[in-house]
Structure 1
Amino acid sequence: MQTNAIYTSFVAVGDSFTEGMSDGLPDGSYRGWADLLAARLAERAPGFRYANLAVRGKLIGQIADEQAAPAAAMGADLVTLVGGLNDVLRPSCDVDLVCARLEEAAARLAPSCRQLVLMRSPGRRGPVLERFRPRMEQLFDFVDGLAERHGALVVDLFGAEVLGDPRLWAEDRLHLNAEGHRRVAEAVWQALGQAPAFDWRDPLPAAARAGWGARRASDARFAREHLLPWIGRRLSGRSSGDGRPPKRPELLPYA
């Protein structure tokens, strides 16, 4: 990694986190940290090209099988690889297998680019995080070793206290909101050795806790609109990304 290095192309690989959910735009599409990062990199490199192969709901095996080879073939300067969290959040998960498939993807991507970036994904504070924390920490410990083996950078979002703040998460409690994605983009920007625009780890201002009734109403709305549909997809073997093409499948100029 070089300080203030110029990157002329960027390919993002992953799931809904990299696709940009839930940083919504007025037309109903999603922006997200990868688009924000691409826009900033494009300002420094005329003719900058960007592809985003991420698809919501993808497991690490699907990312390794469907995205790694096409991304490697693009030969971009910069590649980001984030995956595995959808696997470890499922009731049954072989974390060792998840790690093996992540290694497979990294081994294919690292030789194809100038800089590979991995992440320790953020987690929203609450009971879900605590239930799955051992699996997540096992995965993220593996990511650290993976980076050493392949000369990759690791952006530690899991260790950033502010990204656990529920106010940086969407109503589905699974995806960051616009401010959360803005901070992730800045975290990657700084990890690449670029000049900081702000301190992405700064905590949010203190706020009064919502009352008991408001919290219960929020929990009920979350269960009805997000949790039950998610459980339904798991029971039926469906994914929110079934039949959905990659966000930006070709490495094309990005204005």
Structure 2
Amino acid sequence: MSENGVRFAVLGDSLSEGVGDPAPGGGWRGWAALLAESLAPTADLLNLARSGARTGDVAGSQLTAALRHRPHLASVMVGGNDTLRGGFDVHTVAAELHTALGALRASGAHVLTACLPDPGTVLGLPWPLARPLGRRMTALNDAVHALSAHHGALHLHAAQRPWATSPGALSADRLHPSEAGHRMLASDFHALLAGAGLSVGPPPRLDPDGPPPGRAASVWWMATRGTKWIADRCTDLLPDLLRLAADEYRHAARGTAPLLDHAAREATVAALESLGLNAPPPGPLHSTGRPDRSATKRILVPGADWAAAGSDSSGTTPITG
């Protein structure tokens, strides 16, 4: 990318919209704006990401607008809202991501992607609820990993980066990054671009302008906005999640919990094979059907933190709960 006239299109949901990092003049700033400032003095940023967006929104109206922008660089980070909806379908999610990534790469844009943290783990949900959500996030992240490799996207294993795990890097809602978290994510993407020879400016500043939100801010958010946020999703998600939790209990009691992991893995493999892709090698399944009440099991996939998708690595990177 040249130093002048860099066009950057941002596709996705609230994470890329910038939720958690208030802009000085109102609205949200976020990692994408911070990254754009570090790319070039005259970077032309088009942020199409919107709170609540799903993969269908990205593959539809957001993609159409992004292609009109003729971007040199684009980012696609979406799918978390899909995992929080009833009837989550990895086939649909993978196909819609395939459409978006394929069209952007065909237009000549470099594309950034990332694995996402597991909301059940971040929120500390009980294991019967956290495991089904974690299984969905594993499916999403495996699909993103495979699609990124196929399309030659620059892929960041972001789920276990500090912005996703450090309390100081989370905003009052405990789901989105704070200003500090958005700065960490912008810095991570800058390093990824620099490693590919595509960054032309200095890295974003890591020091936030203000302190991270404390516990009081989290309580206030839940009282004033969080209840509605949860209710909007529970209307659709709760019946499905309760059914999944009941399945989790039943399989745990029978010692057959690994079958749920296997079924989810097979669904992901089938979804990717239907697109002509191979799924990443599986990590270890749960070794026992006994519930782990202290933490959610983690699944490992090949790759290092700073490796582009599909590159070789001798280690493994945890990507989801």
> TM-score with structure 2 length normalisation?
0.60
Q: Are the counterparts in 2 of residues 75 and 112 from structure 1 also a CA contact under 8 Å?
A: yes
Residue identity opposite 2:148 in structure 1? A
Residue identity opposite 2:149 in structure 1? E
The correspondence of residues 5-44 of structure 1 with structure 2, limited to 5 A, is 5-6=1-2, 8-43=6-41
Q: Are the counterparts in 2 of residues 69 and 108 from structure 1 also a CA contact under 8 Å?
A: no
Match of residue 99, structure 2, among 95, 104, 111: 104
Q: Deviation digits for residues 161-187 of structure 1, max 9, x if unmatched?
A: 552122211111221110000001011
Query: What SS class does the counterpart of residue 75 from structure 2 fall into?
Result: strand
Distance 1:196 1:163, change over 3 A: farther
Task: Say if 2:180 is the partner of 1:184.
Answer: no
Query: In structure 1, what is the equivalent of residue 266 of structure 2?
Result: none
- For structure 2, the 5+ residue unaligned runs are 207-213, 237-321
In 1, Cα distance between equivalents of 2:77 and 2:46: 15
Query: In structure 2, what is the equivalent of residue 231 of structure 1?
Result: 230
Query: What SS class does the counterpart of residue 157 from structure 1 fall into?
Result: coil
Query: In structure 1, what is the equivalent of residue 62 of structure 2?
Result: 67
Q: Deviation digits for residues 210-231 of structure 1, max 9, x if unmatched?
A: 9xxx7xx887655433432013
Query: In structure 2, what is the equivalent of residue 86 of structure 1?
Result: 81
Q: Are the counterparts in 1 of residues 35 and 204 from structure 2 also a CA contact under 8 Å?
A: no
Distance 1:96 1:17, change over 3 A: same
In 2, Cα distance between equivalents of 1:72 and 1:198: 26
In 1, Cα distance between equivalents of 2:88 and 2:94: 11
Residue identity opposite 1:127 in structure 2? G
Query: In structure 2, what is the equivalent of residue 243 of structure 1?
Result: none
Task: Say if 2:128 is the partner of 1:127.
Answer: no
Q: Deviation digits for residues 37-71 of structure 1, max 9, x if unmatched?
A: 1111123xxx4322111111111111211111221
- For structure 1, the 5+ residue unaligned runs are 201-209, 238-255
In 1, Cα distance between equivalents of 2:204 and 2:224: 35
Q: Deviation digits for residues 62-103 of structure 1, max 9, x if unmatched?
A: 121111122123221111111111111234412232122111
Runs of 4+ more than 6 Å apart: none
Q: Deviation digits for residues 116-169 of structure 1, max 9, x if unmatched?
A: 111112456342494422211211111111012111110111132552122211
In 1, Cα distance between equivalents of 2:156 and 2:66: 20
Of stretches 12-21 and 219-228 in structure 1, the one that deviates more from structure 2 is: 219-228
In 2, Cα distance between equivalents of 1:220 and 1:159: 25
CA RMSD of aligned residues (A): 2.8
Of stretches 225-234 and 60-69 in structure 1, the one that deviates more from structure 2 is: 225-234
Q: Are the counterparts in 2 of residues 60 and 87 from structure 1 also a CA contact under 8 Å?
A: yes
Distance 1:144 1:37, change over 3 A: same
Larger C-alpha radius of gyration, 1 or 2? Answer: 2
The correspondence of residues 231-250 of structure 1 with structure 2, limited to 5 A, is 231-234=230-233
Residue identity opposite 2:151 in structure 1? H
Residue identity opposite 1:78 in structure 2? L
Q: How big is the shift at 1:198?
A: 8.4
